[in-house]
Amino acid sequence: MTDIPPTAYAFDEPASVGEPRLDAIQRLVQVVDRLRDPATGCPWDLKQRPETLTASLVEEAFEVVEAIEQRLEDPDQDHVAEEAGDLLMNLVLIARIEQQAGGFSLAEMANAVADKLIRRHPHVFGDATVSGDDEVLTNWEAIKKQERAEADSDTSAVAGVPANLPALQRAYRIGGKAMSAGFRWEDSAGALDKIAEEMAEVREAFGPGPEHNPERKEDLESELGDLLLASALFGRYNKIDPEAALRKSLRRFEARFRSVEQSLGGDVKGKSLEEMMAAWEAAKRSE
């Protein structure tokens, strides 16, 4: 590892505008501008383009999500501000790169989203009234559909959900859009019955034996996908994000599995299923 000698940092702090939030944003903008200065900037930052930052953008977003969920489980572990700051930096950097290339600026980004928020909240900035958050979401989708029609783009009720979202999250979002359009069961029980129906179809596709017939893998894959989709829709009816629920279950699974490993000497290889399941149940009881 290379030793980095101590150095004096030269940065001209911007004049305060009297509003802490704006002061901080202004400071970040000036830091990023310095990093992207062709004469005195950072070689790594100067090399970046929006397409080279997409992976880190997604990674930083998930780190924000992880920090938020971790704080819910352990309030002493609070890294939300730090992780959200990293995400914000990526967005400011992308805006600066775009501006230097003759594209949009951070000001255009901010103004565009502010205009959008005003337009999509007529119950706040206009004279519309709503009865609750469900009506807010219904109006939001209606306004978005009108915007797409005016822009001569896809006007489907389920349009506008990024294809690259994690599949369970995308199912949750598309399900919500379909429900807002009126495509829905009367209550959660209907969605729960659909899970049971899809589970039965998975069982049928699996077949009667202890192992699935590889020749019917395509059928089983299709039915398993339908079961996952039905589960995501059930989550929507009960205001449970299936992606967040699965992440929480994975954290429980990982913690329990690590406990199983520890109780069995650090390695489960060679251990019987009975031994492992006994250790698993002990891990559950100790939570």
Summarize the confidence of residues 44-59 as an average pLDDT: 96
**Can you tell me the distance from the alpha carbon of 122 to that of 120, in angstroms, rounded to the nearest whole number?**
6
Same fold, 20-120 and 156-240: yes
Please tell me the predicted confidence (pLDDT) of residue 145: 86
Indicate the CATH number of 156-240 among 1.10.287.1080, 3.40.30.10, 2.20.25.90, 1.10.357.10.
1.10.287.1080
List C-alpha distances in Å: 75 to 62, 69, 242, 249. Answer: 19, 10, 23, 19
Q: How many CB atoms lie within 10 A of CB 90?
A: 20
**Can you tell me the distance from the alpha carbon of 70 to that of 76, in angstroms, rounded to the nearest whole number?**
9
The string of pLDDT tens digits covering residues 112-158 is: 999 999 999 999 999 999 999 989 988 988 898 899 888 888 889 89
Contact 65, 8 (CB under 8 A): no
**Helix and strand element counts for the chain (H, E):** 12, 0
Q: Which fold has domain 20-120?
A: Helix Hairpins (1.10.287)
Summarize the confidence of residues 208-216 as an average pLDDT: 88
Banded model confidence at residue 1, pLDDT cuts 50, 70, 90 = low
Show me where the domains of the chain are located.
20-120, 156-240, 242-287
Tracing tokens 């915007």 back to the chain, one arrives at 147
pLDDT at 8 over 80: no
As a whole-number percent, the residues of the chain with pLDDT over 70 amount to 98
Coil vs helix vs strand at 166: coil
The torsion defined by the Cα of 153, 148, 165 and 74, in degrees rounded to 10, comes to 170
Please tell me the predicted confidence (pLDDT) of residue 149: 87
Please tell me the predicted confidence (pLDDT) of residue 213: 86
**Can you tell me the distance from the alpha carbon of 102 to that of 99, in angstroms, rounded to the nearest whole number?**
5
Sequence-distant (6+) residues with CB within 8 A of 63 are 83, 86, 87
> Which of these, 89, 79, 80, 90, lies nearest to 28 by C-alpha position?
89
Q: Can you say whether residue 102 is alpha, beta or left, with left for phi > 0 and alpha for psi between -120 and 50 degrees?
A: left
Q: What phi, psi does 194 have (nearest 5°)?
A: -65, -35
Summarize the confidence of residues 9-28 as an average pLDDT: 93
Banded model confidence at residue 10, pLDDT cuts 50, 70, 90 = confident
CA 58 to chain centre: 9
Summarize the confidence of residues 256-277 as an average pLDDT: 95
List C-alpha distances in Å: 151 to 108, 144, 147. Answer: 19, 10, 6
